[in-house]
Amino acid sequence: MKGIHDPDEALSLFHEYYQMGYKHDYPSFSSLIYKLAKSRNFEAVETLLGVLQNLNIHCKETLFCALFQHYGKAHLSVKAVELFRKMPCFNCVCTVQSLNSVLNVLVDDNRFGDAKEIFDESKEMGFRPNSVTFNVMIKGLLNGAEFDEACNMFDEMLERNVEPSVVTYNSFISFLCKKGEVEKAKKLFEDMVKKGKYPNAVTYALLMEGLCSLGEYKEAKKLMFDMEYKGCKTKVIHFGVLMSYLGKKGEIEEAKSLLSEMKKRRFKPDVVIYNILVNYLCKESKVEEAYKVLIEMQVKGCEPNAATYRMMVDGFCNVGDFEGALKVLNVMLKSRHCPRSETFCRLVAGLLRCGKVDGACFVLEEMEKRKISLDLEAWGDLIRDAYSGVGDTNELLTQVIL
């Protein structure tokens, strides 16, 4: 099962072996369920879970935690809760890990009320909430801007003898910095250190972002250098915070200087760092320079991701270089990444406007392969955009579709 990537093919083979009298074991079931859940074929997942239950095969908790996450990504958190409550029926030992997983799915799906209900029931269910449990609940409250309630949850955490972690403090620091209350965040940072909790790289990055949001770039940069003396190593993420600020301010040359400084200090830029440069260069219409950054990252062994290619394709389209956009699109598709449907449409319209019909047809074929379809109205908009002011658009529409 593990060697078959296509979930439908794996399901077909599973049934074929079953009909031949082969008795599938737990690894076979779980491998197939993972594949089906990833492809969002939850109907088949639930059928297989029913078979597992009837056969009374011992299931691992990790399977259910993974299914909760897949349900969550599909915004089916109610299904995740149903499965969580049915876990004892699957001959599965249910620990606080399952509780934390389902709570996190609910919080991320903006269903804090449901998460609170399960949290309140957790003691009766036999769970003892840990720091992760409280961190998830605090995250949910802060997401809803319920700062006072989050503080109450923190107090409850202490009352129940659960030690706050650096993640707990980071949640509050992040919230305060986003609200522009950086001085309060600094005080919390100091309180954290006094209580023996050592700030990590994320803590410093959050404070740096807060300082940058107030325009205090120099202080943010100083904090990056000071953190090493306080026992926390500077990481690529910290350079990224500073470069993002410089990019937003239009100070691209300064951002490039920071990249050079990174290299001198033997930090290897990652895809996030390169994407910051690509993004802001494209926004400044310096697309050729952004393309050089794309080439550099490939030469340096840093693989561009979907965001890199999307920014480059959009960047070329923005400056009217649709052939350049098509060139990047080709590489993007070969790398198994895909642009947004609006980018496809914009590129088709641009190529048609330039008289590059073959290129436009190629893009349309790629859209069809990926099942990206357009309704008649969208087709009309595309043709009107491509041939604005040129002849009868209805006739042109018929020609392109045919």
Please write down the HEC assignment for all residues of 224-277. HHHHHHCCCCCCHHHHHHHHHHHHHCCCHHHHHHHHHHHHHCCCCCCHHHHHHH
pLDDT band at 18 (very low <50, low <70, confident <90, very high): low
User: Is 51 inside a domain boundary?
Assistant: no
Nearest to 390 by CA among 349, 332, 348, 360: 349
User: Is 198 inside a domain boundary?
Assistant: no
Looking at residue 398, its pLDDT comes to: 54
Split into its structural domains, the chain has a count of 1
Q: How far is CA 269 from CA 272, 301, 312, in A?
A: 8, 10, 19
Determine if the pTM surpasses 0.75. Answer: yes
pLDDT band at 8 (very low <50, low <70, confident <90, very high): low
Q: Is the pLDDT of residue 374 over 90?
A: no
Nearest to 64 by CA among 102, 107, 103, 25: 102
H-run or E-run covering 294: helix 287-299
User: Is 360 inside a domain boundary?
Assistant: yes
Q: Domain of 398?
A: 340-402
Check if the beta carbon of residue 102 is closer than 8 Å to that of residue 81: yes
Q: Is the pLDDT of residue 1 over 60?
A: no
User: Is 171 inside a domain boundary?
Assistant: no
Give me the torsion for CA of 372, 335, 276, 181, rounded to 10°.
Answer: 60
Looking at residue 362, its pLDDT comes to: 83
Render pLDDT for 103-126 as a digit per residue (tens, 0 to 9): 999 999 999 999 999 999 998 898
Q: Is the pLDDT of residue 311 over 90?
A: yes
User: Is 395 inside a domain boundary?
Assistant: yes
> CA-CA distance, 152 to 168, in Å (whole number)?
13
Amino acid letter, residue 173:
I
User: Is 329 inside a domain boundary?
Assistant: no
Render pLDDT for 267-298 as a digit per residue (tens, 0 to 9): 999 999 999 999 999 999 999 999 999 999 99
User: Is 331 inside a domain boundary?
Assistant: no
User: Is 367 inside a domain boundary?
Assistant: yes
Residues in CB range of 65: below 8 A, 6 or more apart: 97, 98, 101
